Structure 1
Amino acid sequence: MATDYGGQATYGAQTWRGGQPRPGSRRPGRPGSRRRGGARAGRAVAAVALVVGVGGLGASLVGVATQLLPRQFTARQQQQIIDWEVGKRWRVFPAGKIFPASVRYPLSAAVFGDGVGLTLTASRIGIARQATCPAATDAVIAAVLARDGCQAMLRATYADATDSYVVTVGVAVFGTTAEASAAQRELAATARASARHPDLAPPGVLPVRFAGTPAAWFTSSRRQLSASTNAGTYVVFYTVGYADQRPLEPVAADSYVDSELTSLGVGVARAVVSVLAAPLPRPHCPGTPGC
């Protein structure tokens, strides 16, 4: 309702002076009451709309803030990233980095019985071409590797400082750490079974010979020790023998020879593992949008 300067009040089609309605007309109070009630309802609806709008804006701001915050990787995603980073090393690292030219390894003091150990050196004789896992291992080992997804085998041969012993180290490549671990568990069971037959060459990686070197006579029948270990997406094998044409012998009966052959094999295998499976920090998002 509005009032003009002449004192005449207006409300719809009704007109009166001094606030008095014309005869026969309805009292103006009731329509005014309905309008005031409608205004209050409108204000309530507007308030509800405002609350809903503010809530929607808040939700939108939370969504935007979440997108701008650094992404949090799950434990599974972190492991997948680590597997990918470690697993690509065999492709991108030079062969001479995977298989160092020389390796230093310890010989336990217990061998000498005087509390003093030695640090010995093995030298690389040669690096073989990449091979398939079945082509580079015994059949029983190849079956295990195939079941767990072995992709390739890398091999190199080393000799000790006196050229008396030779060792071939082999790297079986897998797609994930879980696959490599599963393969190693099966290989450990195979190794325990083969230990019951010391008169047979221990199954494992096949030796790689190089003519005109101490490894010229290193054939499968002359393997004395074989073993494996896993790290990251790899299973690393080693097999050790004599540089001469000596056939398989029960080296476990000679503690010194057994220790020296084992130290050579383990030392070279660890050197390769330290390159290919060097630990990585747990992956995290650097904090940029879209990470």
Structure 2
Amino acid sequence: MGSVDLTPQPHAGPPIHFGRPAVFDDRTAQLRPVPPRSKPRLATVAACLVVGFGLITGAVTGSWLTGEADGAPSAERVFTSAGEAWHNAKVDALFPPRVKGEGAGPGGADRVWTRIAVAPDTDCRNALDPLLRKALQPVGCERLLRATYTDATRSHVTTVGMLFTKADAASMGSLRTRFTEEGLDQRDDLMPRPYAKKGTVAAGFGNEQRASWTVSILTDAPVVVYAVSGFADGREISEPEPAAEAMESGATSTPAQSGLGHEAKGLADQIERTLRKTAKAASEDRT
């Protein structure tokens, strides 16, 4: 079978012209041309379509920007709810009695922490070292909440704190930038204080027992989250190390070898997630 020629063939009949359509005239019984459409009318219709589409698009875009297109609370609302959590949320909602950290330990091992003490809420005057309090002064101190946990072996203790500030998102961002650029979160003279309670394994957890720590300046909430860890047996640590360094591969310091850097960072991360979850839930209840 030969190949089929798909080349268009020339039209054999008379040429075809697409002229103006016609309508039937009842008075003359003849076809008469359709008058040309008014350009101003077309322009008016087009303008209405553009304006209408713009209004719809603007409304949808606005809801996306505020985070409410799918019913989710806006970032501003979550920020506000987070700042109010210190007096609106229950203790267990901020410091759960039991915290799981999947992959939070050395080598990606899982961790479980049990709460053994909750400090009364307070201001920052006596709960923080003066130099750390000065570094955080630009955002103010509304309230400070703290709790102390121990690991599954009860050989480590970690105090985690949430400092609720008086700042807006921009001020929190500025403070975070300063801490990062100046390495303030790595300085041992800005290390947070632990919270010890008699009758618990953290009874001997004082300033001299601090081994590793982390300080996190949040920008989606007016809160500074920190954690400081040490040994439950009360041994003193002469060279504490920030969690970021103690968690590095090949680190040989006492905090690194004992996993205390992972204890501080892992628990702080989990408490951050808990705060965000609590703030989001409170924001959704307001909608």
TM-score band by shorter chain is: 0.5 to 0.7
* Equivalence for 2:203: 216
Give the C-alpha shift of residue 187 in structure 1: 3.5
Alignment of 1:235 with 2:231, yes or no, is no
Task: Describe the superposition over 1:236-287 as per-residue Cα deviations: whole angstroms up to 9, x where unpaired.
Answer: 0011111122112336563684161122112211221112123859x9xxxx
Letter in 2 for 1:176: D
2:252 equivalent among 251, 254, 278:
254
C-alpha distance in structure 2 between counterparts of 1:107 and 1:80, whole Å: 30
CA distance in 1, matches of 2:185, 2:111: 29
Bigger mean CA offset, 127-136 vs 93-102: 127-136
Report the residue type matching 1:186 in the other structure.
R
Which residue identity does 1:227 align to in structure 2?
A: T
**Which amino acid is the alignment partner of residue 210 of structure 2?**
R
Moved over 4 A (4+): 69-79
Structure-2 separation of matches of 1:135 and 1:184 = 23
- The aligned length equals 208
Distance 1:139 1:241 in 2: 21
Cα deviation for residue 119 of structure 1 reads 1.1
Tell me which residue corresponds to 2:113: 122
| Partner SS for 1:210 | coil
Partner letter of residue 237 of structure 1? Y
Amino acid corresponding to residue 203 of structure 1 in structure 2 = L
Q: Which runs of 5+ in 2 are unaligned?
A: 1-51, 68-73, 241-245
Structure 1 segments unaligned to the other structure (5+ residues): 1-61, 111-116, 195-200, 284-290
**Normalized against structure 1, the TM-score is what?**
0.61
Cα distance between partner residues in 1 of 2:261 and 2:98: 17
| TM-score normalised according to structure 2 size | 0.61
What's the CA shift for 1:168?
0.6
Structure 1 counterpart of 2:243: none
How far apart in 2 are the matches of 1:168 and 1:120?
15
Q: 1:185 & 1:137 partners in 2: Cα distance?
A: 21
Q: 2:176 aligns with which of 173, 184, 188?
A: 184
Q: Which amino acid aligns with 1:212?
A: G
Q: Please give the root-mean-square deviation of Cα atoms over the aligned residues, in Å.
A: 3.4
> Residue 145 and residue 74 in structure 1: after superposition, are their counterparts in 2 closer, same or farther (change >3 A)?
farther
| Cα distance change of structure 1 residues 274 and 211 upon mapping to structure 2, 3 Å threshold | same
Counterpart CA distance in 1 for 2:206 and 2:106 is: 31
Match in the other structure for 1:102: 98
Q: 2:191 aligns with which of 204, 213, 227?
A: 204
Q: 2: distance between equivalents of 1:247 and 1:137?
A: 19
